Amino acid sequence: MKKRTEYRTQGVLKRISGPVVTAVGLDAHMYDVVKIGHEELMGEVIKIQGEDIIIQVYEDTAGIRPGEPVENTGLSLAVELGPGLLTSIYDGIQRPLEVLVDKMGDFIERGVSAPGLSHEKKWEFVPTVGAGDVVEAGDILGTVQETNIVHKVMVPPNVKGGKIKKISGGSFTIDEIICTLEDGTEITMLQRWPVRVPRPTKEKLNPDIPLITGQRILDGLFPIAKGGTAAIPGPFGSGKTVTQQQLAKWSDSEIVVYIGCGERGNEMTEVLTEFPELEDPKTGKPLMERTVLIANTSNMPVAAREASVYTGITIAEYFRDMGYDVSLMADSTSRWAEAMREISSRLEEMPGEEGYPAYLAARLSEFYERAGRVVNLNGTEGSVSVIGAVSPPGGDFSEPVTQNTLRIVKVFWALDAKLSQRRHFPAINWLDSYSLYLDALDDWYDREVSPEWNPLRAWAMGVLQKEAELQEIVQLVGSDALPDEEQITIEVARMIREVFLQQNAYDPVDTYCSMSKQYDMMKAIRYYADLARAAQASGATPQQIVSVRSKNDLPQIKFIKDYEPALAKIQEEMAAEFDAMRAA
């Protein structure tokens, strides 16, 4: 057998068919990044078949001809990690969109490369360890004040570590050496990490702290834990994006990575214009300062869309490694799955269900598996919570992407077109949705909200369940035919829906509702329910109970910032009205 002496990095194109091209005459490994044609378009090796190297191209291939050169860089698709990530907006392969506007104007042309981070900008590095200290992979060397967020500079996970020979504070670019080890290893603030490989951690922890989102139906009924996974499936226009944006705005994580994967350009613009104006309710700092955006819109190349979720989660893991709680929103994972399908069909692979590749389920679970609350290599604790939107064709949840996702994630927020058509927002169906974290989070709610909260929640869910049963009867005989007691149940359920569950994302106050306000609101509804039951027991008619006027003021509480006095007044009035009823 002839031994191969030379690794061939140069080849030529043999075939071009949309985003998939075939090259010959070069050697390659799977997922190597290659440069295609005279314009050096970026691509990635996705299949090797004898001499044929099959490549997905991250840019438009129009005009490219067989015979053009192909060069293998020998590297895998990686992102640049370091100071400068926050407030950035990237495309699917981490090209900063702001830089692209400078380089090529308002439209995205091809063949332009731009590094993910600025290599010129200087950052003020403050060491937290000194010469003579021994550091290991992942350990924190020092800090950079990136925005209002402190960026921790770490030993890259793939560097063995050792005794520090020299470390110096001061102003550095990400390429300058900040630390040298005894063995000669030089460390900069820049790490490159291949996106398809999870960053290592020491240990996974159990998620037992909720990610508080300020959204009543989520925090109150179907909470997600920090480091947990959730899916929001729903037909078009049912509220996936608004919910994801609400989470990006208000959830109490320290870093947010928002991936617009194959969705609308205007939605990303909306985030870009809105976030800098909004303040974190806890810290009062602009929300944009903790955010990284990835925008590979529906009309951008489909291969880069496939890459965008990996780019996003790698950035999320990097901040987790610093000890932060990170949440990642992917809108929409269906577009990612469709990108896989499109590439797979160009490869003429044997299709699985509905044309999706047979490895769809595996890819989805690998992705969600990168979520979690962990102990990092450096001993800090951090988390990545992943919330994926799913866009089922025709709104039918039985399709492969929804089904495969539900097998993995722990929280299901089922959007319902029937609710959104009634403008009941968030249009999350309270009967179909679930959270498997409830038990794990009970203690937290007990401790941090009130020991009364968990029973109150169970009571509200019970009323809603009962209402659903009663509605079936009402559909047959009308509401007047129900027994008195059930008529009151219907009324209380209506209040839970209209007062508690409905929440207007566009109202300046109602957009965010603290856990204590959620608790107070639910308690007020319960207060009415208890008075109503007592009144009924002492002979009041449902009509009398339902027409208690003061309860109609409850929805107004949502729009009032300092609501406590108003709520107290309503409750007093309720008591007075019921007293009067009993007296009559």
Ligand X SMILES: Nc1ncnc2c1ncn2[C@@H]1O[C@H](COP(=O)(O)OP(=O)(O)OP(=O)(O)O)[C@@H](O)[C@H]1O
Site for Mg ion in 205-244 (CB under 5 A): 240-241
545's CB contacts (< 8 A; 6+ apart) are 488, 491, 532, 535, 536, 581
Q: Are 119 and 175 in contact (CB under 8 A)?
A: yes
Question: Closest CB to Mg ion among 328 and 532?
Answer: 328
Site string (287-326) toward other proteins, x via CB under 8 A: --------x-xxxx-x------------------------
**Which single residue is written with the structure tokens 């770490």?**
154
Report if residue 246 touches Mg ion, rule: CB under 5 A: no
To ligand X, the closest distance from the beta carbon of 416 in angstroms equals: 11
Residue 110 and residue 41: Cα distance in Å, rounded? 7
Report if residue 505 touches ligand X, rule: CB under 6 A: yes
Q: Is 508 exposed, middle or buried (0-12, 13-18, 19+ CB in 10 A)?
A: exposed
To Mg ion, the closest distance from the beta carbon of 338 in angstroms equals: 14
Question: Closest CB to other proteins among 68 and 366?
Answer: 68
Q: How many CB atoms lie within 10 A of CB 280?
A: 16
To ligand X, the closest distance from the beta carbon of 426 in angstroms equals: 4
To ligand X, the closest distance from the beta carbon of 427 in angstroms equals: 6
Question: Closest CB to other proteins among 171 and 299?
Answer: 299
491-510 residues near other proteins, rule: CB under 8 A? 498, 504, 506
113-152 residues near ligand X, rule: CB under 6 A? none
Q: Which does 147 bind (CB under 5 to 8 A by kind): Mg ion, other proteins, ligand X, none?
A: none
Report if residue 341 touches other proteins, rule: CB under 8 A: yes
To ligand X, the closest distance from the beta carbon of 41 in angstroms equals: 29
232-251 residues near other proteins, rule: CB under 8 A? 235-237
Q: Are 62 and 7 in contact (CB under 8 A)?
A: no
Closest CA to 357 of 365, 347, 367: 347
Q: Are 14 and 23 in contact (CB under 8 A)?
A: yes
Hey, CA dihedral for 155, 156, 161, 166, is it positive or negative?
Answer: negative
Report if residue 335 touches Mg ion, rule: CB under 5 A: no
Q: Which does 160 bind (CB under 5 to 8 A by kind): other proteins, ligand X, Mg ion, none?
A: none
**Of residues 158, 395, 459, 536, which one binds other proteins by CB under 8 A?**
395
29-68 residues near other proteins, rule: CB under 8 A? 60-68
127-166 residues near other proteins, rule: CB under 8 A? none
Give the E-state strand segments of 349-506 in sequence order.
372-375, 381-390, 411-412, 434-435
Q: Are 346 and 19 in contact (CB under 8 A)?
A: yes
The DSSP line for 209-240 is SB---S-HIIIIIS--BTT-EEEEE--TTSSH
Instruction: Give me Rg for the CA atoms of the chain.
Output: 28
Q: Residue numbers of the site for Mg ion (CB under 5 A)?
A: 240-241
